[in-house]
Chains A and B, each alone.
Chain A
Amino acid sequence: MILHILNRSPLDSRVYRQAMMAMGPDDRLLLIEEGVQGALPQLVRHFEEIAGRLFVLREDLAARGLEGQCDDSVLVVDVEGFVTLTEEADKSVSWF
């Protein structure tokens, strides 16, 4: 299983589409930095194919005043959870 890490909002960049196309059936996607915008209810539809495998970094939500506003389908992790995700994955790929 590969952990994909995305730091771009779907509003700013289409790199998320490349990430989605590269993802295997068990791979996970973590949204960080501006990427956390993708966890908002109005944008999460871009990631509906990977429901249950979409994570978002709590600290980057909080830094943007978005904590508590993301879609219920997204799994919120803090930076310790980010580390855990990298432990559980065989490797990681960063998309930017």
Chain B
Amino acid sequence: MRYALLVQGGPYSHQAAHSALRFAEALVRRGHLLETVFFYHDGVYNAARLLAPPQDEPHLGDAWRRLHAEHGTRLQVCIAAGLRRGLLDEREAARHGKAGASLEAPFELTGLGQLVDAGLSHDRLITFAP
């Protein structure tokens, strides 16, 4: 089946992101397609380019990137939630006159329309919220 996940919890503050990641890894183990993870509300912090947790703790950013690298999962970040929280890719940083980007590929800034589309085009959409 084709799955999408909606992650609304920030990393290391609530369990939501960890729950979503554990579910994501189980999904692919069972042979499902995890096509999209959409980050919304404080969930957008999962996409922060400079996450640097202690080495003996799970690195959520790297784990999401690994899903993209190994399974082609699209990592979509709500642009409205991201900009408010200082998560800008190079294009948005330039547009807003900011020095340096805080979000980079494979994470991509997208609109809420992509979330609606994920709900319509995937077999399942599972929400993980704080």
Contacts and interface: CB of A to CB of B under 8 A. Distances in A.
B22 A92 contact: no
A83 B27 contact: yes
Interface of B: 1, 3, 15-16, 19, 22-23, 26-27, 29-30, 32, 124-130
A31 interface: no
A2 to B, nearest CB: 12
Given A60-B19, A83-B30, 10 more contacts: A33-B16, A34-B15, A59-B22, A79-B23, A82-B26, A83-B27, A83-B32, A92-B125, A94-B128, A96-B130
The list of the 5 closest CB pairs from A to B, nearest first, reads A94-B127, A96-B129, A79-B26, A33-B15, A83-B26
B77 to A, nearest CB: 19
Contacts of A32: 19
What's the dominant secondary structure at chain B's contact region?
mixed
A79 B19 CA distance: 9
B118 to A, nearest CB: 13
Interface residues of A, number: 18
A91 B26 CA distance: 18
A57 to B, nearest CB: 9
Which one of A5, A34, A93, A96 has the greatest number of beta carbons of chain B within 10 Å?
A96
